[in-house]
Amino acid sequence: MPATENKTRKEGDASSIDFDVIVVGAGFGGLYLLHKLRGMGFRVGVLEAGSDVGGTWYWNRYPGARCDVESMQYSYQFSDDLQQEWEWSEKYAPQPEILEYANHVADRFDLRRDIQFDTRVTTAAFDETAGHWTLDTEAGARLRATWCVMATGCLSTANTPRFKGIDSFQGDSYHTGHWPHEGVDFTGKRVGIIGTGSSAIQAIPLIAAEAEHLTVFQRTPNFMVPAHNAPLDPELRKAVKADYAGMRARAKRTFPGLDFAFNEGAAMDATPEKRQRTFETRWAYGGVSFMGAFSDLLYSREANEAAAEFVRGKIRETVDDPKVAELLSPRNIIGSKRLCVDTDYWKTYNRPNVTLVDIKGQPIEEITPEGLKVGGEAYAFDAIVYATGFDAMTGALLAIDIRGVAGRSLREKWRDGPRSYLGLTMAGFPNLFTVTGPGSPSVFTNMLPSIEQHVEWIADCLGYLRERGLGRIESSSEAEDAWVAHASEVASDNLRSQDDTWYIGANIPGKPRVFMPYIGGFPAYVQKCDEVAANGYEGFVLSEGTDVPAAAE
Ligand code: N01
């Protein structure tokens, strides 16, 4: 479609919109979008529900919260000055330091002036006639923009199961994903924690060290590998900084977008002794690269079971009481749930003030004023911690009433599960983009490079449209269908799709079971996105629209 002079806004022209682009969310996605798009001359406004930047790292302040990606890799690469000047202190950065980093980025690039904090978006509707998005906020403000980008995060809508009597508890209740900013002192308290996922396993050792007694309610035990966290070796930091570009380039060539040694050999081709040695080496290094010990761990049941049994052996070695060790031993596919990276988790069950309660097959009956009831037994607590996870990937998007062409809601479109083209756009929702949305590799990759790739793709796309005086872009239904079919085919080969996990929405009652992240790997995904762009945004319908900002000089 050729550019049309009259639709392109010139400097000084009145505009019916408040911004060229509204970004929802000021986590790592929103911050970089603002920096990038503002640098390109777009008028950008960011709306953020929290009172400050940081997204997931703003909300998740529970004891022990830290990233399970090594700090030298869990950072932006768009600015070499930034990555050279920032000093991570530990192998795995703790939450306060990651939040400090997000704040540093906001200040360094002067981002705050274009972010409205304490602003929760309630609705977003595409106005077909005007060709723009109208967003309403909880406080009653209404804002308009030609394009809208949802940078709302994959794990940002906390899930608190609707236990009977939940509001009756007279002690203190906390959710790991909404931790009080002032922290919590559990000294001398009887604490119950529900859940044993990544958040719980980080919090449990620290709460146990403080509380009078900690009772852990476990529905499914989890696999974990040790973090071996430590102060960051200055020599390593220096070496990485000397060749940051090289490390980032290597990372982009791996399946999860992480620079780590991936063994191309198959576990079942190795002798049992060699397998054991390889697992031990990975164990000694620690972290999620354990799953890179062999190429077939997520494709062959036998290989997976070998890795699982290796980890169960470590549990038996660590936990004094064989019955507790057995309860802590997962029987599902290792890596199907997010592999946890821990510090002293299993050891914590050797403490006299920690009790493990298995609630598999006997759901919590009710929360009572004193505590909770399960298996016919009553437990009394001063505090209950819900480490019960998130309505992942779709929760934050569906919490906003998003309406596309003809007023059709996203909730209706996604009734049977999320559908998108590349996890970036949806047919029927023109001019709307999602950062690390369902259908993109997101949670299977190092999130920071994935976020940067999405931001840069969206920025290039908007630049392309503006250059041509085009104000409207929408993925075609055919392109979306083909991507959904491809993503689902790739998932079916992978053992990860065979367990009940939040990746398929199994943690939320009634949520449609669809494998949400794209599991074809970061390099294949990036190649596809690049091809789509190189082919003039193949699979999209581009048209004039209205109120297109003038092309950059
Ligand atoms: O949440 P989860 P999370 N009754 O969903 C249990 C990222 N993350 O906050 O497994 C009883 O993993 C549930 O039991 P089950 C990371 O991607 C990263 O821990 O469903 N129990 C499970 O044990 C991670 O995967 C980092 O049987 C109930 C737990 O609650 C994701 O966030 C740190 C229940 C929830 O575990 C989510 O992790 C933290 C019920 N009704 C988080 N409902 C790092 O980077 C749920 N559960 C290190």
Residue 388 alpha carbon to ligand 1 centre in Å: 5
Ligand 1 neighbours, Cβ below 6 Å, are 67-68, 155, 161, 176, 194-200, 202, 219-220, 338, 341, 359, 364, 387-390, 443, 502, 507
Between helix 522-534 and helix 244-252 the angle, nearest 10°, is 90
Residue 201 alpha carbon to ligand 1 centre in Å: 9
pLDDT tens digits for range 265-299: 999 999 999 999 999 999 999 999 999 999 999 99
- CA distances to 160, 404, 407 from 411, rounded to whole Å, are 20, 11, 11
Residue 30 region by backbone torsions, left for phi larger than 0, else alpha for psi between -120 and 50, else beta: alpha
Atom of ligand 1 nearest to the CA of 198: 19
Beta carbons within 10 angstroms of residue 187's beta carbon = 9
Pocket test of ligand 1: the residue of 507, 511, 516 to mutate, having most ligand atoms within 8 Å of its CB, is: 507
| Closest C-alpha residue for ligand 1 atom 6 | 195
Atom of ligand 1 nearest to the CA of 507: 20
What is the rounded distance in angstroms from the CA atom of residue 442 to the CA atom of residue 463?
A: 24
Residue 502 alpha carbon to ligand 1 centre in Å: 8
Query: CB–CB of 40/552 below 8 Å?
Result: yes
pLDDT value for 8: 55
Please count the CA atoms within 13 angstroms of the CA of 221 that sit on its side-chain side.
Answer: 20
pLDDT tens digits for range 16-33: 789 999 999 999 999 999
Residue 194 alpha carbon to ligand 1 centre in Å: 10
pLDDT tens digits for range 372-395: 999 999 999 999 999 999 999 999
Pocket test of ligand 1: the residue of 156, 224, 338 to mutate, having most ligand atoms within 8 Å of its CB, is: 338
pLDDT value for 549: 78
Residue 386 alpha carbon to ligand 1 centre in Å: 10
What is the rounded distance in angstroms from the CA atom of residue 124 to the CA atom of residue 57?
A: 25
Residue 504 alpha carbon to ligand 1 centre in Å: 13
Residue 159 alpha carbon to ligand 1 centre in Å: 9
Beta carbons within 10 angstroms of residue 316's beta carbon = 13
| Closest C-alpha residue for ligand 1 atom 17 | 338
What is the rounded distance in angstroms from the CA atom of residue 172 to the CA atom of residue 181?
A: 15
Q: pLDDT-based confidence at 75, cuts 50/70/90?
A: very high
Pocket test of ligand 1: the residue of 61, 198, 216 to mutate, having most ligand atoms within 8 Å of its CB, is: 198
Averaged confidence pLDDT in the chain: 95
Atom of ligand 1 nearest to the CA of 65: 33
Which residues lie below 8 Å from residue 249, measured CB to CB, with a gap of 6+?
none
Angle at 509 between CA 504 and CA 513, to 5 degrees: 25
What is the rounded distance in angstroms from the CA atom of residue 103 to the CA atom of residue 110?
A: 10
Residue 193 alpha carbon to ligand 1 centre in Å: 12
- Average pLDDT, integer, range 183-202: 98
Atom of ligand 1 nearest to the CA of 220: 27
Beta carbons within 10 angstroms of residue 396's beta carbon = 23
Element (H, E) at 354: strand 354-358
Residue 435 alpha carbon to ligand 1 centre in Å: 22
| Closest C-alpha residue for ligand 1 atom 18 | 198
Between helix 95-108 and helix 28-39 the angle, nearest 10°, is 10
Q: pLDDT-based confidence at 545, cuts 50/70/90?
A: confident
Query: CB–CB of 199/65 below 8 Å?
Result: yes
pLDDT tens digits for range 76-135: 999 999 999 999 999 999 999 999 999 999 999 999 999 999 999 999 999 999 899 999
pLDDT value for 3: 30
Q: At which residue do the structure tokens 């505090």 appear?
A: 383
Least confident segment among 1-10, 237-246, 465-474, 512-521: 1-10
**N- to C-terminal Cα distance for the chain?**
22
Q: pLDDT-based confidence at 261, cuts 50/70/90?
A: confident
548: Cα separation from own chain's centroid:
32
- Average pLDDT, integer, range 156-184: 97
- Average pLDDT, integer, range 509-523: 95
What is the rounded distance in angstroms from the CA atom of residue 109 to the CA atom of residue 118?
A: 21
